[in-house]
Structure formats: structure tokens, C-alpha cells
Structure 1
Amino acid sequence: MLRSMTGFGRGEYEKDGLHATVEIRSVNHRFLELVVRISRPYFSLEEKIKERVQQDIARGHLDIYVNIEDRRGKKRNVKLDKELVLAYYNSLKEMAKTLNIDFQLKVNDLAQLPDALVVEESEEDLDEVWSVVEKALAEGMAHLSEMRTREGARLCEDLILRKNRIAGYVEEIKKRAPLLSEELRNRLKSRLQTLLDDCEIDENRLAAEVILFAERSSITEELV
């Protein structure tokens, strides 16, 4: 099956609020050249994307655009800095003792102290992201393959049409080829007769010249 190297494919997939869109543009190239464009937090997925594409594509220049949208909202964790809170507590207790005042402290008071509670964003689960990107990529690759196949079929039809047209020209030339020597002889004789006017032409010499010229003008090899 003839396939074109030019094509475009697009795929989308979403799971639990994680959405991925993949667009692939392919053009002719002697070797396989892959360019992946993906946002910085997901750079580590680039090699996986290339490996997946190489399973189906052997040649061509491919630009692969990957867009990932996390619609789940950021996952955050609140972390208690135990050592810092304990240090606050001991320092405040010592302060009360020094000032000779009652030491009365509530949890809410400690929670409002700087850095006692730290809000951290949970790390991205790249395996989960890849499972979504992979499905979008597979869909994009399938659409790319379909387009390349359609384009290849169109090119094949065009090549067959051109081949048949050339074959027709070759047959016409083959039919006329045997007449070439006689046509050359008559044309050469006519020109010589005009130049020499009333002088007699040596038919044997004329025939030899025609044969030599015909051999030099032979198109037999081109027709094979």
C-alpha cells in the first residue's frame, strides 16, 4: 500500500477532569525526525511520546503538539511544622513567665503564627497524565494514518494515469520508429538536391549517410 508522508491527525481524551489534545503534522523527510512541543511541567513525557510514534512511523518530519489541561483543581496538603510550633510554644511560655503573667494559649493562636502551618501543592502524578496523553496520541496517530493512506491512494491513481499516458506515447513512437530511416533519407535527399541543383546524387553514398545518421538518432534503448 502506497502512503503519503504528508498528513495531519488530531486526538483528544479526557478522564476525571484531566484533558489532553494532540495534533500531529507530517511532511516528507528522508529520515524520521520528531519534534515534540509540550509545556514545561510535562517535559519528561517527551521520550514516551517519541517511542510511541516510532512504533507506527518510519520516515518523515513530524511536529507533535501536546496540550494538557488539568481541570481537577490543584490538590493541596496542609503541613504542620512541629518543631517550629513547639519552639513558638516554649518561647511564649517563657515570655509569660518572665513577665509574670498568666500563660493562656489556644490552638488558634498557634495556627496564626508565621509558617506554623504550610500549604503545599501535591506532586503531579505523571503516570496518570501519560495514560490520558497516550490515548489522545493514539487517536491522533490513527487519524494521521488514515489521511496518509487516502493521500497515498490519490498519488497512486495519479501515477497510474501518468504511466498509462506515457505508455501510449511510447507505443506511438514505436509505430513511427521504423519509418524514421526512410523519412531521413527523403529529407536529406531533398536538401542535397536543392544544394547541388542539377548534379547527380550518389544513391549508395546517400544510403550510407542515412544509416549512420539513423544509428546516431536511435531511440531503441529509450523505448525499452
Structure 2
Amino acid sequence: MRSMTGYGRGETDHAGTRFSVELNSVNRKQSDIVINLPRDLAELEPRIRQTINENISRGRTNAIITLHSGTDGARNLALNTELARSYHEAMRMLQKELNAPGEITISTILQAPGVMRFPEEALNAEEAWPAVERALRAALADLIRMREREGKHLAKDLIHRLKAIRKKLKEVRALHPDVVKRYRGALLDRIQKAGLPIASEDERVLKEISFFADRADVSEELTRLESHLAQFAHHLRSKEPVGRTLEFI
């Protein structure tokens, strides 16, 4: 038995790029998959969705795929010198306008937006798929492990509740045979207290007792409940999705 809530993460490296996949799932009767991935990998969405569907049949699953450039990107560092000159000139003019003392350093200029950048090369989605798939399957395995752990805790709690219900069921079965007998005694006691001239074997008394016995007979319900408890316990031990079955029972 698995819970529908869980979290999983997987990572892998390919050609200087790290691929990270995060998955989280929450309760939902139907299967619902939401995928968030970089534009360069958009064409991989159907494969990602299919892979998730093959492993998770119920619940809402959110998948987040991110890319992290490695140290190799430092070789492609680009400086926008024209923009740097413009920043420098603007800083000097502002400094003069405000009569503000201070030194304009190269460090200050390099921190200005757009002066220093790392050009991004287009990523080939087809070539990246094996790496994405490895990270995805690692995240799925992590997610499923967590769902199984939580499922075991839920099953343990449900088994404890089943035992409590079975105990009550046993008590009800023990009391059931005496219900009609107690009702007969109570009925005759009320007749006697009322001073009515009716004998215990009077046809009207016997008819009332018979009518009550039919209404009070819960043998079939007790047997059905016992069967449901047995089926519930059986399905709790299953490794297949059993949420809908347990809900029906």
C-alpha cells in the first residue's frame, strides 16, 4: 500500500550541465501531471509525462526540471565594453551633478546589469534526454520510496482501527442472542406495571415479540461487516493501488 503524497529528487550531469528533477505528489482521485521545464527541453514533455504515468497512477504530480551550467561556462564569459563605458560615463555625470565624492571602481562597473554575462548555448533536447531520463527515474524512485514509507504508517494505523472494530463486533455478537429475551422481559414488566390483564403467552404479546425479533435481527449485517473487515485487511497488504477499493469497502 502506498500513500499518494510524497517527494523525490534526482540529479545527473551531461556535457557540463547538471539536470535536476524534483517531484512532489498530493492526493487526488484521478491522475494529474503538471510539468515545468526549460524552453529548450519543451519537446521532451510527452516523454516525461509518459514516464511518470508508467510509475504513478493516481494523485496530482508536480514535476520541476531545472538546468545548472557547470564551470565550463566560464570559458564563454562575455564582456559588454560599450555598456561598461556608458555606465562609467553615467556614474561620472551623476557624481558631478550630485557633487558626491567617491571612487568609481571597475568592481562597481562589473556589477552593473548586462556588463558581464555568460552566453547560453542552445541545448539539444534529443541529446539531453538520456540524462533527463536518468534524473527523472531517480526522482521517481525517491518519490515512490517515500510514498511506500508513508503507506506503511497509514496501513499500521488502519490495522489498529480494524482490531478495535473487530473487538466491538465480537462484543455485539455475544450480546445479540439476549436482545429478544431482554425485550420480552421488559415488555411483560411494563404490562404488569400497567395492571393490564394480559398473559405472557397472549397472542398479542407473542406477535409484538416476534415483530421486534425481526427488526432486531442483525445477523446478516454482522456477517457482512465481518466480511468487509477481512477484505479491507487483505487489500491493505497489496502492493497494487487500493485506494478506490478501500473507499468502496
Indicate conservation of the 8 Å contact 1:75/1:122, yes or no.
no
- Give the distance between the partners of 1:218 and 1:122, measured in 2 at CA: 78
Q: Residues 212 and 139 of structure 1: is their aligned pair in 2 closer, same or farther, counting only changes over 3 Å?
A: same
Find the counterpart in structure 1 of residue 159 from structure 2.
160
- Give the distance between the partners of 2:67 and 2:44, measured in 1 at CA: 12
Q: Residues 121 and 60 of structure 1: is their aligned pair in 2 closer, same or farther, counting only changes over 3 Å?
A: closer
Q: Residues 33 and 121 of structure 1: is their aligned pair in 2 closer, same or farther, counting only changes over 3 Å?
A: closer
Find the counterpart in structure 2 of residue 110 from structure 1.
none
The aligned runs of 1:122-201 (5 Å cut-off) are 123-194=122-193, 196-197=194-195, 199-201=196-198
TM-score, scaled to structure 1: 0.71
The aligned runs of 1:4-153 (5 Å cut-off) are 4-71=3-70, 72-73=72-73, 123-153=122-152
1:12-56 CA deviation, whole Å, 9 max, x = no partner? 222342012111111233332211011223212211211221222
Indicate conservation of the 8 Å contact 1:18/1:132, yes or no.
no
Indicate conservation of the 8 Å contact 1:8/1:25, yes or no.
yes
- Give the distance between the partners of 2:191 and 2:9, measured in 1 at CA: 72
Indicate conservation of the 8 Å contact 1:74/1:121, yes or no.
no
The structure with the largest helix share of the pair is 2
- Give the distance between the partners of 1:28 and 1:218, measured in 2 at CA: 40
Q: Residues 39 and 121 of structure 1: is their aligned pair in 2 closer, same or farther, counting only changes over 3 Å?
A: closer
Aligned residues with identical type, % of pairs? 33
SS of the aligned residue for 1:23 comes to strand
Q: Residues 121 and 220 of structure 1: is their aligned pair in 2 closer, same or farther, counting only changes over 3 Å?
A: closer
SS of the aligned residue for 2:63 comes to strand
Indicate conservation of the 8 Å contact 1:35/1:63, yes or no.
yes
CA offset at residue 163 of structure 1? 1.7
CA offset at residue 127 of structure 1? 2.8
CA offset at residue 59 of structure 1? 2.3
Q: Which amino acid aligns with 1:34?
A: I
Q: Does 1:203 align with 2:200?
A: yes
Q: Residues 75 and 221 of structure 1: is their aligned pair in 2 closer, same or farther, counting only changes over 3 Å?
A: farther
The structure with the largest strand share of the pair is 1
CA offset at residue 174 of structure 1? 0.7
Structure of greater Rg: 1
- Give the distance between the partners of 1:9 and 1:220, measured in 2 at CA: 49
CA offset at residue 151 of structure 1? 1.6
Cα RMSD, aligned residues only: 2.2
Unmatched runs of 5 consecutive residues or more in structure 2: 77-118, 224-249
SS of the aligned residue for 2:29 comes to coil
CA offset at residue 161 of structure 1? 1.7
- Give the distance between the partners of 1:175 and 1:21, measured in 2 at CA: 61
CA offset at residue 165 of structure 1? 1.5
Count how many residue pairs are aligned between Structure 1 and Structure 2: 178
Indicate conservation of the 8 Å contact 1:23/1:64, yes or no.
yes
CA offset at residue 121 of structure 1? 7.0
Higher mean alpha-carbon deviation, 209-218 vs 11-20, is at 11-20
